[in-house]
Amino acid sequence: MPLTELPDAEAQCVTLANLIRPQLQANTLLVGIHSGGAWVARRLSELLELPGEVGLIDVSFYRDDFGEKGLHPQIKPTSIPFDVEGRSLILVDDVLYTGRTTRAAINELFDYGRPASIRLAVLADRGGRELPIYAEFCPWRPGLGDSEELVLETSDTGHLQWRCSQHA
């Protein structure tokens, strides 16, 4: 998919926020998955005018491919600056693909306590699921082939944008 046809990621954040807004509860908290999901979670937090910090999660220690790939080269500390017990969490990621990252993030969240619920919000659901996971909030569902790579990036000005490339 050439760059010109890719949607505006910033506009998608607004759409995603509008999808979430009617479902917000008093105890709703956002948790972004490093690194793309963390950017989107911060955007959503501003757009939805949520008080307090968003949680940030790095699933490197929970990945199911550790045995094959070892530790991810760039690890950021997980930071959950609130008590998750009994809260309604919305897990935020940029791209939903196999569902394995989401699985790892859910496992990690439960090591912080027992949330009332966890729902999933993503900017793009590209299909290709390998686990029974569904994004309740999602503005874009492109069907991409396995050889296509969809990545959310930040520009020099901090603007969110998509990059799609072919790999062998």
Burial class of 57 by CB neighbour count within 10 A (0 to 12, 13 to 18, 19+): buried
User: Rule CB under 8 A: is residue 62 a binding residue for another protein?
Assistant: yes
**What 3-state class would DSSP assign to 163?**
strand
User: Rule CB under 8 A: is residue 81 a binding residue for another protein?
Assistant: no
> For residues 79 and 98, which CB has a smaller minimum distance to another protein in the complex?
79
Candidate segments 41-49, 58-66, 123-131, 141-149, binder of another protein by CB under 8 A? 58-66
DSSP codes of every residue in 93-129: EEEESSSHHHHHHHHHHHTS---SEEEEEEEEE----
Subset of 148-167 contacting another protein (CB under 8 A) = none
**What 3-state class would DSSP assign to 12?**
helix
> For residues 64 and 149, which CB has a smaller minimum distance to another protein in the complex?
64
Which residues contact another protein (rule: CB under 8 A)?
58, 60-62, 66, 69-71, 73, 75-79, 107-108, 110-113
